[in-house]
Amino acid sequence: MTMTLSQTIQQQFPAELDRAVQDVFGTMLGVECSPGDAPRKTEPESFSVLIGLAGVISGSCMLRADKTSSHYIASLLTGTEGSSEAMVKDALGEVCNMVAGTWKRSVPELSSMCMLSPPTVISGTDYSLHSMPGEIRMQRYYSIGTTGFAVMLHCSEGQ
């Protein structure tokens, strides 16, 4: 039986996303990153990165991390301690862009048929993200040392 694109994405997403995250963090940040459970405690302040997807699927790929994790990820990517908020946003945007791009390349149907937008970063203590209902709503948590982050995919087939 032939699977639809949505079914293919839902079936392959966890394993392919894990590979993409581990590739990006291992290559560019020099750390091992493993899938994990949702954190029990979260800080009030967080950073959320959104990358828009448009083409054979439309929606967004998001990365969300609390403030401590965001600063840690930025320091690993830039190789500097004490990054400014602008640098943290830039670094997280690039990490999310690389994760989304690496994951997209793993799905042949998406590779050239789905465009990624430049990242948009939201930060603060009092905000919520709402995306339109879609066929695909998936989320994975990852841990690096004592910190962690979530990657979410919310999308539908078609434009």
Partner 1 sequence: MRELKVLIVDDSAVMRKIVERSLRSAGLALAQVLEAGSGKEALEVLQAQAVDLIFSDINMPEMNGLEFLAQVSAKQLAPGVPIVMITTEGSEEHVVQAVQAGARGYILKPFTAEQIKDRVIPLVEAVAS
Q: How far is the CB of 148 from partner 1 (least distance, A)?
A: 19
Q: Does 84 bind partner 1 (CB under 8 A)?
A: no
DSSP 37-78: PPPSS--S-EEEEEEEEEESEEEEEEEEEEHHHHHHHHHHHH
Q: Which of 40, 41, 79, 146 binds partner 1 (CB under 8 A)?
A: 79
Q: Does 59 bind partner 1 (CB under 8 A)?
A: no
User: Which residues, in sequence order, are CB contacts of 84 under 8 Å at separation 6+?
Assistant: none
Number of residues in contact with partner 1, rule: CB under 8 A? 25
Of 36-44, 96-104, 127-135, 138-146, which segment contacts partner 1 by CB under 8 A?
Answer: 96-104
Q: Checking DSSP bridges between strand 46-55 and strand 57-66, what pairing results, if any?
A: antiparallel
Beta bridge partners of 156: 58
**Which spans of this chain sit near partner 1 (rule: CB under 8 A)?**
23-24, 27-28, 74, 77-79, 87, 90-91, 93-94, 97-98, 100-102, 104-105, 111-112, 116-118
